[in-house]
Amino acid sequence: MRSAPVFWRRRSWPAALALPAATLFRSLAALRRGLYRHGILRREQLPVPVVVVGNVAVGGSGKTPAVLWLIEELRKAGWHPGIVSRGYGGRVTATGTPHLVVAGPDPDFYGDEPVMLARQTGCPVAVGRDRPAAARALLAAHPECDVIVSDDGMQHYRLARTVEIAVVDEATLGNHWFLPSGPLREPLARLAGVDLILAHGELSPRLHAQMGTVPVAPMCLVGERFRSLARPDEWCGAEAFAGKKVHALAGIGQPQRFFDQLTAMGLDVIPHPFPDHHRYRAADLCFAPGETKLMTSKDAVKCAAFAPPDAWELPVRAIIDAGAIAPVLEKLKRWTPNCSKF
- Give the model's pLDDT for residue 180: 96
d(CA 21, CA 178): 9
Sign of CA dihedral 6, 107, 219, 331: positive
> 96 with 153: CB under 8 angstroms?
no
Task: List CB contacts of 334: < 8 A, sequence separation 6 or more.
Answer: none
- CATH code of the region 42-220+320-333: 3.40.50.300
Band (337; pLDDT cuts 50, 70, 90): confident
Residue 294, SS3 per DSSP: strand
> What percent of the chain has a predicted confidence (pLDDT) above 70?
98
User: HEC profile for 86-132?
Assistant: CCCCCHHHHCCCCEECCCCCCHHHHCHHHHHHHHHHCCCEEECCCHH
Band (263; pLDDT cuts 50, 70, 90): very high
Amino acid at 164: E
- pLDDT of residue 4 exceeding 80, the answer is no
Residue ranges per structural domain of the chain = 42-220+320-333, 224-315
Amino acid at 106: D
As a whole number, mean pLDDT of residues 107-131 equals: 92
Instruction: Give me the residues paired with residue 317 across strands.
Output: 222
Task: List CB contacts of 180: < 8 A, sequence separation 6 or more.
Answer: 18, 21, 22, 25
Task: List CB contacts of 144: < 8 A, sequence separation 6 or more.
Answer: 80
As a whole number, mean pLDDT of residues 104-117 equals: 87
Band (3; pLDDT cuts 50, 70, 90): low
- Give the model's pLDDT for residue 340: 72
d(CA 205, CA 175): 16
Range in 143-147, 250-254, 337-341 with the lowest mean pLDDT: 337-341
d(CA 39, CA 206): 32
- Give the model's pLDDT for residue 92: 79
Per-residue pLDDT tens digits for 175-223: 999 999 999 999 999 999 999 999 998 999 999 999 999 999 999 999 9
> 126 with 137: CB under 8 angstroms?
yes
- pLDDT of residue 88 exceeding 90, the answer is no
Per-residue pLDDT tens digits for 297-324: 999 999 999 999 999 999 999 999 989 9
Per-residue pLDDT tens digits for 66-76: 999 999 999 99
Q: What is the DSSP string of 58-78?
A: SS-SSHHHHHHHHHHHHHHTT
pTM of the model: 0.93
Amino acid at 327: P
Band (86; pLDDT cuts 50, 70, 90): confident
Range in 80-89, 134-143, 327-336 with the lowest mean pLDDT: 80-89
Instruction: Give me the residues paired with residue 270 across strands.
Output: 247
Band (342; pLDDT cuts 50, 70, 90): low
- Give the model's pLDDT for residue 1: 46
